[in-house]
Amino acid sequence: MKLREVVQILDAQVLSGIEDLETDILAGCGCDLMSDVLSYIKPGALLLTGLNNLQAIRTAEIAEIKAICFVRGKQPTEGMVAAAREKGVILLATPMPLFEACGRLFARGLKGSFDND
């Protein structure tokens, strides 16, 4: 799924990486516990999270996550946006709750990152 499709499905705001909306997202993961993200997420995935701090950006870099979408209308700080740009992580924000955002993406064909395939 292209990131531009994710933006449309989630009615998301692009906070960084608008030039990268043709990026392919290989899987999705909805999680606030970064230790679980590091243990299970697949490289090239989209992380949907309510964890709005620098740890999410650091986790994305380590786990080779292409994009983070903050849920429930959360907005990252300017420092977080700058760090994401530096690390090449695309940032989005959606007003949707985590459950609904994940459900919409799954219904449109995005696989879960925890799937054992």
**For the residues 63-83, what does the mean pLDDT come to?**
96
| DSSP-derived pairing of the beta strands 28-30 and 13-16 | unpaired
- pTM of the full structure: 0.94
pLDDT band at 113 (very low <50, low <70, confident <90, very high): confident
**What is the CATH architecture assignment of 3-107?**
3-Layer(aba) Sandwich (3.40)
pLDDT tens sequence across 11-69 = 999 999 999 999 999 999 999 999 999 988 889 999 999 999 999 999 999 999 999 99
Identify the pLDDT of residue 115.
Answer: 57
Provide the CB-side half-sphere exposure for 84 (13 A, CA): 28
Give the integer Cα–Cα distance in Å for 23 and 7. Answer: 12
Start-end of H helices in 2-113: 3-10, 34-40, 54-63, 78-87, 98-107
pLDDT tens sequence across 92-106 = 999 999 999 999 999
